[in-house]
Amino acid sequence: MIRPVRSEDLPVLLAINNACTPGVGELDMPRLQHLVEQAAHVLVAEIESAPAGFLLCLHEGAAYDSANYRWLSNRFSRMAYVDRIAVADRHRGLGLGDRLYKALKDAEAGSGRPITCEVNERPANPGSLRFHTRLGFRPVGHLDHGDKAVVFLARPAEEATA
């Protein structure tokens, strides 16, 4: 089941997030709470009544001090920016990432916002790059942070469905 985040989910989401580094940036609880407050969507994949993964998406204009978010904001006047998607190791391979992105696509349909994200190139994250490419994401740029580098990806805005 995919559902919106609940406040009681946050400790589990923090643990899932931090177990997925360096694919996603490590967080502490105050930083996670700030991101959730800024988010347009925080979608939780639930298995057996417990969070098994999540996707956190911000729109343009969020109060988020991230070089990657700024890079995309300078290129897209409107966007649905997937800041992170993380699935607990024991629940990988069940299609939760696909379901989370489908729920986001449905939520954003008709908004005119392309869905954007970044994937690490250094350290390399080839699994995430293959996953996003399969979902229709295409490269729109790169940014080298020195100790790490990312490729930015986007997929076109979805039309509204009747």
Name the architecture of domain 2-155.
3-Layer(aba) Sandwich (3.40)
Q: What is the pLDDT along the chain (162 residues), one digit of tens a residue?
A: 999 999 999 999 999 999 998 888 899 999 999 999 999 999 999 999 999 999 999 999 999 999 999 999 999 999 999 999 999 999 998 999 999 999 999 999 999 999 999 999 998 899 999 999 999 999 999 999 998 999 999 999 887 665
E strands within the chain?
2-4, 41-47, 50-59, 80-87, 115-122, 138-144, 149-155
CA atoms within 13 A on the CB side of 42: 17
Q: Where are the domains of the chain?
A: 2-155
* CA nearest to 32, candidates 22, 18, 20: 18
Beta bridge partners of 151: 119, 142
